[in-house]
Amino acid sequence: MTAEHDRQHTDLIAELFADSRLANEATLAAAGPIIVDVADRILDCCLQGGKMLSCGNGGSAGDAQHFSSELVNRFERERRALAAIALVTESSTITAIANDYGYDYVFVRQIEALGQADDILLAISTSGNSSNIVAAIDAAHEQGMQVVALTGRDGGMIAGRLNDQDLELRAASNSTARIQEMHLLMMHCVCRLIEDRLTDN
């Protein structure tokens, strides 16, 4: 590698860090107060006997599983376990539903089986247009569940599917990578706020 090549890579990395910082600041300005509402609502749901169901595709599936594990186990502090199920992990269930009904129903059928009116669905989509996530939101509403949506760009179809009882955390970016970074940061903020409430009482 030449010195010029190394400098180009270093400049690119600096540019990506700068882009992430700008997305971070813009997302904080738009979503900061909503993050507090999301944390309060999720904790109240779990303390009242409800549970979190989470779903997403690709990297967002990883985020759904990540968030669920943080609630069931812990984030940074010792506290009680909270009820959460990631709908992305049961490969036999997912492939059976996809085979019999189609991929748009892989989360719908699980919500119909597991979701109750006291539960919350965490629906994650960087584009806001994932058809199986939109279908999952509709199914959650039919079960009487509230929805917390993690989106990006303009919120896509998901933004139009949410009702007055739902909450949306929208990453202020059009880049999939930046949106995923903001989703993870917002989830970690929610986890920290939940644990602060549990351990401060």
Supply the pLDDT for residue 153.
Answer: 96
Q: How large a percentage of the chain has pLDDT more than 90?
A: 95
Residue 201 has pLDDT above 70, yes or no: no
pLDDT digits (tens, 9 = 90+) for 38-60: 999 999 999 999 999 999 999 99
User: How far is residue 12 from each of residues 46, 60, 177, measured CA to CA in Å?
Assistant: 43, 25, 15
CATH classification at residue 35: 3.40.50.10490
Domain span at residue 190 reads 3-200
pLDDT tens digits, 80-128: 999 999 999 999 999 999 999 999 999 999 999 999 999 999 999 999 9
What is the rounded distance in angstroms from the CA atom of residue 135 to the CA atom of residue 108?
6
Q: Number of folded domains in the chain?
A: 1
pLDDT at 3: 77
184 in Cβ contact with 56 (< 8 Å): no
Taken in order 189, 190, 195, 200, is the CA torsion positive or negative? positive
Q: Band of the pLDDT at 1, cuts 50, 70, 90?
A: low
